[in-house]
Structure 1
Amino acid sequence: MPGSQHYRQAGIDVLVQRSIGSPNVVVAVIDGPVSAHPDLSAPAMLRTDVGDPSADAGDTAHGTFIAGILAASRESAAPGLCPGCSFLSSPVITANAAAPGRMSTSPARLAAAITMCVDAGAHLINLSVATTGTAQQSSEDLRSALSFAASRRCLVVAAAGNNGTLFSNVITQHPWVLPVTALGNDGRLLRRANLGASIGSRGLAAPGEGVTSLAPGGGYAIGSGTSAAAAIVTGTLALLRSAVPSATAPSLRDAIVRGALRLGPASVVPPSMHGLNTYRLLEEHRPSPTV
């Protein structure tokens, strides 16, 4: 099965074989616009109205790639992790004029998207995005939006970034956010994957090298980095919530960190996610049925 190497590395091969996810689990993809693709059913990505009107067809590659990791049909050449879940697409990132080839959004726009997705019923939000601008009020708005997600028990998974530095931002520093960095196929951290104190203390590492997903125009693409790793974590959480619907958001977040495999001494380096370990932890604490 395509992706099986990454599934084994993340300890999710059994979960993927057992389930495609539940429509009762709502996953929000806050990213770039998602292009139509034959492997992505039209109802799968329900768009919210917080998109950027300046986004155009040239900006769809990243959003389509991330959406595909999650929602592509299991019959696809690049099968998604949880295509049976329900999805929201909030296209807020656009091409960065100051850095050709890179995509970004503003803290204010991202805050509005998070708030709207939470209000729309999202259980999980995937943020494989970077922000530009340093306005204090915009950053406070973003912190408030993340705290609102926490108050509504909507899990937020965020990519750590690909600058190859020790780096945290307003997103990965937030205590409710689950920051994700990327592993290579050799099980070592990708050289350009960001690390940091908040990432090491309460984050995860996940496969992020040579991930195959969807591309605009009906094709496929291979990408590497923390964006792909974050989507793999989000998809795993969606499968876990589908399998153990009684699990609360805090218990899911706690179990996926506790079930991870430590790569070395705890510092700026997070443990490597292991989905089956997480599932076993959740099963141990599943409430017994009443007779």
Structure 2
Amino acid sequence: MLAATLQCSSAKHGCDRGVSRAQDAPLFFKKTGGFRMALHWQVLCLLFFSAGASASLPPPDWGQRQLGLPAAWQWHLGREDIVVAVIDTGMDSQHADLRDNLWTNPGETGLDAQGRDKSTNGIDDDGNGFVDDVHGWNFAAGNADIRDRHGHGTHVAGLIAGQRLGVAPKVKIMVLKYYDAKLSDRDHLRNTVAAIRYAVRMNARIINYSGGGLQASSREEEAIREAAARNILFVAAAGNERSNSDILPFYPADYGLPNILSVTAIDSRQRVLASSNYGSRSVDLAAPGENILSTLPGGAYGVMTGTSQATAFASGAAALLLSQEPELRNPAEVIRRLVRSGEAEKALKGKTKHGVRLNVHRALAQKGQPSSTASLEAARFLFK
């Protein structure tokens, strides 16, 4: 049995004022330099579980099961060559549920000509402009330190590829840190653009990004166009401003590029969260986003709420689909498949383009039969 404590906090999380109730948390955000980057830094009451050696993970919440994950894993668990670049606050690379899912840059591993470890020799061994970028890069600090001081990035990564709570537990995570709570005066938009271009250069298949704002950026849009030219899917949060994105666009989700999948968040009754953006012409689909259980720094687990969590689920679903069908190159086709296989909900009519919510099982079951190998191996991933 895990010991659990409820902790509400707003300090260090980009929040304008304190949070007294859990339901208040998603409503607060911070404006930074005209580019509102902290819409996904919603400060939440997190349920932390101290994971002891003999402890078992508590049962997952409704989100993972609504996606049909146990059934979906009979088709596929993901492939190691499918890399999801997570542009966020970093990641706890030592977390038991994530350490095996960390992408490794082959150009920064092994020994150099002098017999030194390339990962720590202080040299840009692969000539990509980044020194010792073994698992990604910290664009906020300009170094290879990808540790998560916030928690958000680790939570998102766990939903994409965590061993017990992630949608695609065998894919790899490229950690691209663009925000650090201790470096709040940095240019977050610049960092975002640089991170996108890094993901493109280093051959990620999917980019997951939960940030954004109301101000469009030609630099950001061009970077996502570059990703589209390389057939990279860009999964973007619709935003947490409780507004209609058809009227008040939220970027980068609303650039209208063919490789962008815009995702909003729903509760267990299939309703768009009061804090989430929506739009019958701007939002592609919905996914679970309320009180979602995932990984946290320090080997912990906790719940968060928002479009960030819904976006991570969608990235994981896309990663599984690409694992099942690696020949599926066109991001627009991946989006079409995820939308076409979604479940129609009355509550979503007029809230998204097609009024559907994500269903990972149905997305994979559109083609082929369950894999006998995956079926046998999936047993250890069934929310133990």
User: Could you say whether these structures have the same fold, taking a TM-score greater than 0.5 normalized by the shorter chain as the test?
Assistant: yes
Question: Partners of 2:59 and 2:317 in 1: how far apart?
Answer: 16
User: Who is 2:149 aligned against?
Assistant: 59
Report how far residue 195 of structure 1 moved.
1.1
Aligned to 1:93, what secondary structure does the other structure show? Answer: coil
| CA shift for structure 1 position 57 | 6.4
Written as runs of structure 1 = structure 2, the 5 A alignment for 1:207-246 is 207-246=288-327
Counterpart in the other structure of 2:79: 22
Q: Which has the higher helix share?
A: 1
C-alpha distance in structure 2 between counterparts of 1:59 and 1:131, whole Å: 22
Q: Name the structure 1 match of 2:43.
A: none
Residue 32 of structure 1 and its aligned partner are, at CA, apart by 0.5
The range that moved more, 1-10 or 84-93, is 1-10
Q: CA deviation at 1:94?
A: 2.9
What is the Cα deviation at residue 283 of structure 1?
Answer: 4.9
Aligned equivalent of 2:191, options 109, 117, 128: 109
Say yes or no: does 1:259 pair with 2:345: no
Partner of 2:268: 185
- Name the counterpart of 2:122: none
User: 5 Å matches for 1:118-197?
Assistant: 118-131=200-213, 134=215, 139-167=217-245, 168-174=249-255, 175=257, 176-197=259-280
Instruction: Look up the match of 1:82.
Output: 168
- Partner residue of 2:137? 49
| Counterpart code for 2:300 | G
Deviation sequence 1:19-63 (CA, Å, 0-9, x none):
321012111111002123232216615432352118996733111
Which one of 35, 38, 45 corresponds to residue 96 of structure 2?
38
Whole-angstrom distance in 2 between the partners of 1:94 and 1:80: 24
Q: Partner residue of 1:68?
A: 158
Measure, in 2, the Cα distance between the counterparts of 1:7 and 1:121. 28
Distance in 1 separating the partners of 2:75 and 2:365: 14
Work out whether residues 33 and 90 of structure 1, in 8 Å CA contact, stay in contact via their aligned partners in 2: yes
Deviations 1:247-286 (A, max 9, x none): 23332121111222233475443421122332244559xx
TM-score scaled to structure 2, two decimals? Answer: 0.63
> What's 1:277 paired with?
362
TM-score normalised by L of structure 1: 0.82
Q: Deviation at 1:104? A: 9.6
Kindly indicate whether the alpha-carbon contact (under 8 Å) linking 1:105 and 1:129 is maintained by their aligned counterparts in 2: no
Residue 108 of structure 1 aligns with an amino acid whose one-letter code is: R
Q: Which amino acid aligns with 1:274?
A: N
After superposition, residues 192-203 of structure 1 pair within 5 angstroms as 192-200=275-283, 203=284
Residues 129-185 of structure 1, C-alpha deviation per residue, up to 9 Å, x if partnerless?
2358x5x7xx11100011111111100101111121123223111223101000101
CA distances 1:179-201 after superposition (whole Å, capped 9, x unpaired):
1000101221111111135433x
Helix, strand or coil for the counterpart of 1:49?
A: strand
- Aligned twin of 1:287: none
Where does the alignment leave 5 or more consecutive residues of structure 1 unmatched? Answer: 285-291
Partner of 2:123: none
Conserved in 1, the CA contact under 8 Å of 2:90 and 2:148? no
Q: Is there any run of 5+ residues in structure 2 with no aligned partner, and where?
A: 1-57, 105-134, 370-384
Secondary structure of the 1:199 match is: coil
What are the superposed Cα offsets for residues 45-94 of structure 1, whole Å, 9 maximum, x if unpaired? 543235211899673311111111122223xxxx2222211221100023
C-alpha deviation, 1:243, in angstroms: 1.3
Percent identity, aligned pairs only, is: 29
* Contact persistence 2:75–2:365 (CA under 8 A): no
